[in-house]
Amino acid sequence: MTTLYGIANCDTVKKAQRWLQTNNVAFSFHDFRKDGLTEQQLNVWIEQLGWEVLLNKRSTSWRQLDDEVKNNIDQASAIREMLATPTLIKRPVLVQNDSYKVGFKENEYSALFSD
């Protein structure tokens, strides 16, 4: 089962969706802005990828955080902030069986689905 997590209006998510469709990969899309995200799911991603990888420090949401939060970010506060503001999560997150990818790189998707 393949699941693509992100938000519907994100250009990178749209590119990933197009690639999956073009390459006939069956997937479900989970919009974590509309459908939500549990702490348990976020913890699985952190275990697989690391919170630093998931936290998008280039996002508008990150820039809008108080400097106090940004300057003292750690795993616990990152989880708290990502659950409160899912747009802080780098997108998309692709879950393919036991493989996890963040962002969209065509060569990585090709390698993942070539098996």
Annotated active-site positions, please? Answer: 10
Q: What is d(CA 41, CA 91) in angstroms, rounded to the nearest whole number?
A: 15
Q: H or E segment at 112?
A: helix 106-112
Pair type for strands 99-102 and 93-96 = antiparallel
